[in-house]
Chain A
Amino acid sequence: MNSENPIWALISTFGLMSLFAVGGAAAAVPEMHRIAVDVHHWMTEKQFADAYAIAQLSPGPNVLIVTLIGYAVAGIPGALAATLAMCLPTALLAYYVSRLLSRPSQSRWPALIQTALVPLSIGLMAASALILAQSTDRTVAALLLTAMVAVVASISRINPLWLLLAGGLFGFAGIV
């Protein structure tokens, strides 16, 4: 890592990634995992799973898992650099595209592209679930807890925060 400035590595990594994050933050998780754990060894498997859990439990957009990755790499400057790199480029892109599209004439292509992206972003999010489950669900009890939360969240409208807190309670009790 000495040959490369870590801040610049964060900016180039997340700046590029944000432009390919079709379907939002959850769809980018597999790529974040690949880069942070497999390619750069910024974090261990376990630290990454923890970072995801912390980001889910905290207020604000879930994309802020990049703040935790950035901090692990380069402290507070790393946290800020990663956050801005992940959020600013696409926000500016959205600003310019929204100005271009404010004339309603060419409304056919956005609808078509949007439809085409739906299966891709679902595939990406399913991949996120698999990758996170592989590092988290290492015991039968853990797997059962994940399955239970998945079922409850699928069939009810319960606030996700309660399910996360319940998970924390199970962990505190030493069950998973």
Chain B
Amino acid sequence: MSMDSAPAAQEPDHPAAHAPPPGLVALFLAFARMSLAGFGGVLVFARHAIVDQHRWMTADEFNETFALCHFLPGPNIVNLSMVFGSRLRGIAGGVAAFTGLLLPPTVIMTVLAIIYARFGDVEVLRRILAGISCAAVGLLIAVVFRMMMPLLKRMDVVVLILMLGVFVAIGVLRLPLQAVLLVAIPVSIGVTYLMRRKVAA
């Protein structure tokens, strides 16, 4: 291994950095708590609870596990609950974390759905929801903007064209997701592979 690759990982691990693996109930409660705290995204709260508060994983282990969940399809934080729980406590731990993450907010959402079905046409509620919707779209645009900045800085034309292509195909032409991704994923992987080889050569 070269000296410049992740020097922190070379240091001897502190055995005291790890807390003993939690029980199933503790896992369920921890994920329920981070889920209910997680307005506008659970990830920040998950990281705080798992790394800082409970010390179930080191920061490096967390990043590594999250990278995997980010690369797989589906809701990342849900994947993360299953993977984290199972790393700590086997498949039962995975199920406990998964249930803890999803059960309380699902109950809340169902109650909200019932309220919406009954009162969704009330004028005041309509207006409030319209205002919240506008703000929610603004937040989404901000997230897209922040994610796009590194790509814009690198001015990677091929990557930007790929991004624009997916945007037009889904957002403007409204083509089915599967069809678009079945073309876009192989193309993007191919392009990325070729660019890596060019850089390496």
Whether the pair A31, B176 counts as a contact (CB closer than 8 A) is: yes
CB distance from B40 to the nearest CB of A (A): 4
Q: From A167, which residue of chain B is reached at the shortest CB distance? A: B135
B5 near A: Cβ within 8 Å? no
Of B42, B74, B87, B170, chain A has the most CB atoms within 10 Å of the CB of: B74
Decide: A124 near B129, CB < 8 A? Known: A79-B109, A95-B91, A163-B138.
no
Interface size for chain A: under 10, 10 to 19, 20 to 34, or 35 or more residues?
35 or more
Whether the pair B75, A172 counts as a contact (CB closer than 8 A) is: no
What is the interface of chain A mostly: helix, strand, loop, or mixed?
A: helix
Decide: A91 near B164, CB < 8 A? Known: A49-B133, A71-B114, A171-B129.
no
Whether the pair A79, B106 counts as a contact (CB closer than 8 A) is: yes
Query: Which residue of the partner chain, among B91, B134, B146, contacts A154 with CB atoms under 8 Å?
Result: B146
Of A79, A91, A142, chain B has the most CB atoms within 10 Å of the CB of: A91
* Chain A window 83-124, contacts with chain B (Cβ cutoff 8 Å), 1 for yes, 0 for no: 100111111111101110100000000101111111111111
Interface size for B (C-beta < 8 A) is 93
A9 near B: Cβ within 8 Å? no
Write out the residue numbers on chain A whose beta carbons fall within 8 Å of the beta carbon of B35: 59-61
CB distance from B90 to the nearest CB of A (A): 10
Write out the residue numbers on chain A whose beta carbons fall within 8 Å of the beta carbon of B176: 31, 34
What is the interface of chain B mostly: helix, strand, loop, or mixed?
A: helix
Write out the residue numbers on chain A whose beta carbons fall within 8 Å of the beta carbon of B181: 20, 22, 120
B53 near A: Cβ within 8 Å? no
Whether the pair A120, B162 counts as a contact (CB closer than 8 A) is: yes
* Chain A window 66-81, contacts with chain B (Cβ cutoff 8 Å), 1 for yes, 0 for no: 0110011000100110
Whether the pair A91, B74 counts as a contact (CB closer than 8 A) is: yes
State A54–B112 Cα separation when bound (angstroms).
8
B96 near A: Cβ within 8 Å? no
A176 near B: Cβ within 8 Å? yes
Whether the pair B136, A91 counts as a contact (CB closer than 8 A) is: no
Query: Hey, which bits of chain B sit against chain A, CB under 8 A?
Result: 35-42, 65, 67-83, 86-87, 91, 94, 98, 101-102, 104-106, 108-110, 112-114, 116-117, 120, 124, 127-148, 151, 159-160, 162-167, 170-172, 174, 176-178, 181, 184-185, 188-189, 191-193, 196
Return the 9 tightest CB-CB contacts between A and B, nearest first.
A171-B131, A60-B105, A90-B74, A149-B138, A167-B135, A123-B166, A127-B171, A153-B142, A71-B113
